[in-house]
């Protein structure tokens, strides 16, 4: 029976079940009643607390993840040491499946779906790389697909236990690299050529690993035919990746897709993408009808010529081509208006002239009558 299950640690985390177990420790699902949330608690085996290298690695993971705030990076809440001497990390609980599990359940990813996922992963790594953190152990098991806020296929990058970062020496405060040149860390199937040779690493090493993961996502196969970990290491160093259409005949991945993917798998790191953001920009061309897709010139022309809904002064009737007569129509109805306005002043002038004629006629008749009367008198 696991000694932690059913126990409350740190006075606030109730351990409910075991999520996974490894050589360094175990990961548990726990409830934090005060915050009304589930968390994951990683506990290092107490017997390993005397191993300074493992303790540094465990602390490095906590520090690396606590520095990162990208939404696609698993969040760390607490880090410390239990009364038993065991080190622990409390992080967000990820309710989902990792990429390997999804592949086993659903088969290969469509290129469009795979690109959307990997673009988000690139965003998380871009933040880590800018903070001076290199993951060094990217593999499908370390990317979990969750449903966050109703957003499906929301990846979370975790397990920075092998992360390479500049770490301050606790005694002097000076910066030091916690790994030695020539040491090989990581998972053979997904490590970069320079990582397989024990050379110093940089962000482009993670980009190579992402390329291998993406290759496996869309083929459910690795880019090399190898029998054991040492074969994979040798292939990463010397062999070119097998093109997808040769590895999986009939694959929906076209030549334009392979050109983007194969650049991430180049042997020389100088020939790869310079950053995770640059890799994401390349993958954006895979996305169909997405915000990150790059429309063709024809597509852009259609968009430019399309009427914008942000023009409030334009009435809906004026949008389609058929609206041209509707624009002329008000000109026809406006023209009679000036004629009518000009006719109104003419009416009183005509009446005034008629009045003068009547008065003049009366005066003439009066004069004639007076003359007749004088003559008769």
> How far apart are alpha carbons 87 and 116 in whole angstroms?
36
Catalytic residue among 34, 95, 112, 137: 137
- DSSP 8-state secondary structure symbol assigned to residue 255: H
**Range list of H helices, the chain:** 52-67, 99-106, 111-130, 193-196, 203-219, 229-238, 244-247, 255-264, 276-283, 297-305, 324-334, 336-376
From CA 311, how far away is CA 326, in angstroms rounded? 18
Annotated catalytic, 271? no
| Cα distances (angstroms) measured from residue 318 to each of 117, 197, 264, 301, 328 | 42, 67, 50, 20, 11
What is d(CA 242, CA 90) in angstroms, rounded to the nearest whole number? 41
Largest CA distance in the chain: 158
Q: Give the Cβ contact number of residue 96 at 10 Å.
A: 16
Q: What is the DSSP string of 281-311?
A: HHHGGG-SSSTT----HHHHHHHHHSPPTT-
Residue indicated by tokens 């990746």: 241
Q: Please list the active-site residues.
A: 137
């Amino acid at each position: 029976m696991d000694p932690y299950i059913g126990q409350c640690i740190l006075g606030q985390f109730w351990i409910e079940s075991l999520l996974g177990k490894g050589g360094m420790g175990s990961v548990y699902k726990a409830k934090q009643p005060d915050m009304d949330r589930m968390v994951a608690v990683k506990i290092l085996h107490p017997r390993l607390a005397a191993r300074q290298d493992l303790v540094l690695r465990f602390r490095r993971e906590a520090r690396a993840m606590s520095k990162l705030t990208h939404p696609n990076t698993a969040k760390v809440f607490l880090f410390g040491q239990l009364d038993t001497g065991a080190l622990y990390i409390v992080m967000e609980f990820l309710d989902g499946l990792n990429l390997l599990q999804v592949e086993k359940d659903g088969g290969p990813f469509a290129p469009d779906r795979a690109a959307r996922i990997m673009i988000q992963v690139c965003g998380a790594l871009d933040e880590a790389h800018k903070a001076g953190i290199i993951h060094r152990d990217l593999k499908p098991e370390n990317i979990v697909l969750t449903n966050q806020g109703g957003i499906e296929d929301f990846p979370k990058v975790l397990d920075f236990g092998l992360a390479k970062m500049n770490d301050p020496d606790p005694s002097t405060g000076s910066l030091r690299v916690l790994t030695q040149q020539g040491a090989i860390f990581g998972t053979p199937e997904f490590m970069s050529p320079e990582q397989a040779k024990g050379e110093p690493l940089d962000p482009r090493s993670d980009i190579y690993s992402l390329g291998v993961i993406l290759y496996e996502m869309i083929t459910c196969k690795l880019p090399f035919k190898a029998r054991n970990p040492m074969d994979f290491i040798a292939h990463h160093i010397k062999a070119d990746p097998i093109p997808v259409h040769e590895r999986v005949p009939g694959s929906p991945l076209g030549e334009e897709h392979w050109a983007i993917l194969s650049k991430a798998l180049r042997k020389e790191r100088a020939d790869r993408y310079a950053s995770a953001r640059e890799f994401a920009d390349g993958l954006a061309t895979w996305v169909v009808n997405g915000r990150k897709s790059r429309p063709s010139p024809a597509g852009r022309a259609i968009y430019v010529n399309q009427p914008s809904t942000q023009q409030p002064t334009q009435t809906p009737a004026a949008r389609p081509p058929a609206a041209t007569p509707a624009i002329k129509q008000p000109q026809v109805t406006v023209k009679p208006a000036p004629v009518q306005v000009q006719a109104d002043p003419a009416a009183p002038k005509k009446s005034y002239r008629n009045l003068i004629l009547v008065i003049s006629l009366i005066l003439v008749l009066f004069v004639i009558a007076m003359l007749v009367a004088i003559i008769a008198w």
